[in-house]
């Protein structure tokens, strides 16, 4: 039963307003003011009365159905108070019956959403700056699956481009095979940093790097042999991080995958007059769209990021027939994707404006400033995750040394702490990484939510009563009502997260569930209550556990049963 819709129907009958319009105006007030509220301002003009007078007249004239306890006029507002027992009995059985499927919908049934995320550059270690794209994209992948879409995850590896020309140049000048074989990606990254240090005084190195990349594009076997070697070393390192995060992908088709697919796109751009020659290069003039021109081919004939991204859009549309294609990258690429999407649209693909979505996120910085692989000041993701797991392991040894599966729990909580920390704010917000804030186990953190789940499991394990068919009308305490209302918001929050491409909506939601449960837990005895009330509270605890686990799962975080 949707109480908001029911109240909207009640008010529509009393005021002759459209029920859908009324539903959109209904608010959730402070609990002390009621469970639902309707502002009467918009009725003042048609009824030619003050909003406060209208609220009083409607309140006195309404015949209350069984699900409402009372309705009160408070100034210009109508405040509705639900029948608490009726409310509990209407909400909890659905959560209990549907279990981990509670909140799912078929909004996206039959539609495919392609999500491009993570996309680390080869020959560079996975630093904490890559975390954002990975966890935001993975959460969106789960959200859209939960909404009934078929999500398809693509790790568009940065495995092509001039950076490989730079690394080959550095390897030829300062590297050797034995050191690379012994030290792997660390040595590749050292060479990359070395290149940029030397190029500051020797700009001719940049020309050398471009020449090496051109050789790659022209099929030079020695250059490609080095490229394949560097890529293999890189993927071995990156896969360790994905294993720790428990993130998997449906495709690892990176930039290099489109090498043999770009020429037809370039030819089409030229034949349609979308691309024009400019001093030997080929560009798309975007001045009329208030953007800089989009470079398609450099004057030496080499392609660039935009060429590959435009090609990838067209290939993915043909391959997956998506209804949405999301590109989860940092906000510094906002212009780049605006240009690429506009070029696709100018090619005659009207769907581009609606179906192509750049999902930008803010920067993750260190206290001393923005991280950079070129400068070698990036905080490594593997180090962060391992440090977090180790700190949790020590806490477990101190507080619960007899905990079974300590290693697994330490990993689940340690990794979850880092992921939740990154997903707890709006994605566009810049975040300064802080060990203390990320690994704090008090306040609004992942471990706090995970511990709440473990607490629910502990209560249910200790219970000796069958609570499946409890009398839920007994749940009338303030804390019980607030918790049930919070749980009932889950389907709406998942839908909102999908509409806004914002996982933090679910992070904030599951935090509100944890806080509401802990208040209920502290103020209302569960195992010491009389038998019938105990059953009802156990039922509520079970529903809370279910929703927390489901919400954490969508975020890519485990829900341990013991901590």
CB-facing half-sphere around the CA of 471: CA atoms within 13 A? 8
Q: The tokens 């529903």 sit on which residue?
A: 543
pLDDT tens digits, residue range 68-121?
999 999 999 999 999 999 999 999 999 999 999 999 999 999 999 999 999 998
Q: Would the pLDDT of 16 be above 90?
A: no
pLDDT tens digits, residue range 239-257?
999 999 999 999 999 999 9
Res 337: pLDDT:
98
| 8 A C-beta contact, residue 109 and residue 321 | no
Alpha-carbon dihedral sign for residues 29, 33, 38, 43: negative
Res 522: pLDDT:
96
Res 433: pLDDT:
75
Burial tier of 369 (Cβ tally within 10 Å: 0-12, 13-18, 19+): exposed
**pLDDT-derived band at 378, boundaries 50, 70, 90:** low
- Tell me the DSSP string of 465-502: S--TT--GGG--SHHHHHHHHHHHTHHHHHHHHHHHT-
Give me 316's structure tokens. Answer: 């993915």
Res 124: pLDDT:
87
Q: Would the pLDDT of 370 be above 80?
A: no
Q: Would the pLDDT of 369 be above 80?
A: no
Q: Would the pLDDT of 494 be above 60?
A: yes
Which ranges constitute the DSSP H helices of 26-130? 41-47, 51-61, 84-98
Q: The tokens 């999908």 sit on which residue?
A: 498
| 8 A C-beta contact, residue 352 and residue 343 | no
Alpha-carbon distance of 421 to 410, in angstroms, equals 16
| 8 A C-beta contact, residue 548 and residue 510 | yes
Alpha-carbon distance of 4 to 8, in angstroms, equals 6
* pLDDT average, residue stretch 33-51: 91
pLDDT tens digits, residue range 290-329?
999 999 999 988 788 999 999 999 999 999 999 999 999 9
The candidate with the shortest Cα–Cα distance to 502, out of 429, 431, 556, 426, is: 426
Q: Is 130 a catalytic residue?
A: yes
Res 246: pLDDT:
95
Give me 21's structure tokens. Answer: 């319009």
| 8 A C-beta contact, residue 62 and residue 69 | no
Alpha-carbon distance of 218 to 378, in angstroms, equals 33
The CA-based diameter of the chain, rounded to the nearest angstrom, is: 87
* pLDDT average, residue stretch 340-351: 98
| 8 A C-beta contact, residue 186 and residue 233 | no
Q: How far, in whole angstroms, is CA 233 from its chain's centroid?
A: 29
Alpha-carbon distance of 86 to 474, in angstroms, equals 9
Res 367: pLDDT:
67
Q: Average pLDDT, whole number, for the chain?
A: 93
Alpha-carbon distance of 190 to 135, in angstroms, equals 27
Alpha-carbon distance of 320 to 317, in angstroms, equals 6
146: CB partners within 8 A, 6+ apart: 103, 104, 105, 494, 554
Cα angle 516, 522, 525; round to 5:
115
Alpha-carbon distance of 538 to 298, in angstroms, equals 67
Could you give the 3-state DSSP secondary structure of residue 353? helix
Could you give the 3-state DSSP secondary structure of residue 255? helix
Q: The tokens 């507080």 sit on which residue?
A: 399
Question: Residues in the chain, how many?
Answer: 563
453: CB partners within 8 A, 6+ apart: 514, 545, 548, 549, 552, 559, 560, 561
Res 47: pLDDT:
86
Alpha-carbon distance of 507 to 494, in angstroms, equals 10
User: Which CA distances in Å does 30 have to 27, 37, 546?
Assistant: 10, 10, 26
Which ranges constitute the DSSP H helices of 16-50? 19-25, 41-47
| 8 A C-beta contact, residue 306 and residue 336 | yes
pLDDT tens digits, residue range 210-227?
999 989 988 999 999 999
pLDDT tens digits, residue range 516-559?
999 999 999 999 999 999 999 999 999 999 999 999 999 999 99
Q: Would the pLDDT of 371 be above 60?
A: no
Strands 356-361 and 324-330: parallel
The one catalytic residue among 48, 49, 94, 130: 130
Range with the poorest average pLDDT among 130-144, 147-161, 292-306:
292-306
H/E element holding 200? none
pLDDT tens digits, residue range 446-471?
999 999 999 999 999 999 999 999 99
Q: The tokens 């709006």 sit on which residue?
A: 426
| 8 A C-beta contact, residue 100 and residue 550 | yes
The one catalytic residue among 124, 238, 358, 558: 124
The one catalytic residue among 4, 45, 94, 127: 127
Give me 423's structure tokens. Answer: 């997903």
Res 364: pLDDT:
79
**What is the side-by-side order of every strand in the sheet holding 77-82?**
36-39, 77-82, 68-74
CB-facing half-sphere around the CA of 519: CA atoms within 13 A? 15
Alpha-carbon distance of 520 to 513, in angstroms, equals 10
């Amino acid at each position: 039963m949707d109480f908001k819709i029911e109240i909207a129907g009640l008010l529509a009958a009393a005021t002759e307003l459209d029920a859908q319009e009324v539903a959109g105006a209904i608010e959730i007030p402070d609990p002390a003011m009621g469970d639902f509220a309707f502002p009467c301002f918009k009725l003042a003009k048609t009824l030619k009365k003050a909003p406060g007078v209208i609220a009083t007249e409607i309140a006195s004239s309404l015949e209350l159905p069984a699900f409402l306890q009372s309705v009160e006029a408070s100034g210009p507002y109508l405040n509705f108070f639900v029948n608490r027992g009726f409310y509990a009995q209407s909400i909890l059985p659905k959560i209990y019956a549907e279990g981990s499927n509670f909140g799912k919908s078929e909004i996206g049934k039959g539609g495919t959403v392609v999500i491009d995320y993570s996309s680390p550059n080869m020959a560079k270690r996975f630093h904490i700056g890559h975390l954002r794209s990975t966890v935001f994209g993975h959460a969106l992948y789960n959200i859209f699956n939960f909404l009934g879409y078929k999500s398809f995850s693509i790790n568009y590896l940065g495995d092509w481009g001039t950076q490989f020309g730079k690394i080959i140049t550095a390897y030829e000048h300062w590297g050797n095979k034995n050191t690379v074989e012994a030290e792997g990606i660390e040595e590749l990254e050292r060479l990359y940093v070395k290149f940029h240090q030397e190029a500051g005084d020797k700009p001719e190195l940049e020309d050398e790097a471009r020449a090496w990349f051109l050789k790659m594009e022209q099929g030079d076997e020695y250059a490609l042999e080095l490229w394949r070697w560097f890529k293999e070393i890189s993927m071995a390192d990156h896969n360790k991080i994905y294993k720790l995060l428990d993130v998997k992908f449906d495709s690892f088709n990176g930039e290099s995958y489109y090498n043999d697919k770009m020429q037809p796109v370039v030819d089409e751009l030229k034949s349609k007059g979308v691309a024009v020659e400019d001093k030997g290069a080929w560009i798309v003039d975007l001045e009329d769209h208030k953007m800089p021109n989009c470079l398609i081919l450099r004057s030496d004939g080499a392609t660039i990021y935009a060429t590959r991204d435009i090609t990838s859009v067209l290939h993915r549309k043909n391959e997956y027939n998506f209804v949405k294609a999301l590109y989860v990258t940092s906000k510094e690429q906002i212009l780049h994707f605006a240009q690429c999407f506009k070029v696709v649209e100018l090619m005659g693909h009207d769907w581009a404006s609606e179906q192509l979505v750049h999902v930008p996120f803010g920067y993750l910085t260190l206290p001393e400033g923005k991280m950079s692989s070129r400068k070698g000041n990036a905080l490594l993701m593997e180090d962060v995750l391992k440090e977090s797991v180790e700190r949790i392991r020590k806490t477990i040894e101190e507080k619960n040394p007899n905990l079974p599966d300590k290693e697994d729990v330490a990993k689940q909580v340690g990794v979850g702490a880092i992921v939740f920390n990154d997903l707890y704010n709006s994605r566009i917000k810049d975040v300064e990484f802080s060990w203390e804030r990320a690994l704090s186990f008090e306040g609004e953190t992942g471990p706090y939510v995970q511990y709440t789940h473990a607490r629910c499991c502990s209560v249910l394990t200790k219970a000796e009563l069958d609570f499946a068919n409890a009398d839920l009308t007994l749940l009338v305490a303030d804390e019980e009502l607030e918790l049930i209302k919070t749980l009932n918001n889950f389907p709406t929050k998942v839908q909102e997260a999908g509409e806004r491409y914002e996982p933090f909506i679910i992070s904030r939601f599951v935090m509100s569930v944890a806080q509401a449960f802990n208040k209920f837990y502290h103020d209302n005895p569960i195992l010491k209550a009389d038998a019938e009330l105990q059953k009802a509270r156990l039922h509520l605890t079970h529903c809370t556990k279910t929703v927390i686990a489901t919400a954490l799962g969508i975020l890519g975080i485990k829900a341990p049963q013991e901590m």
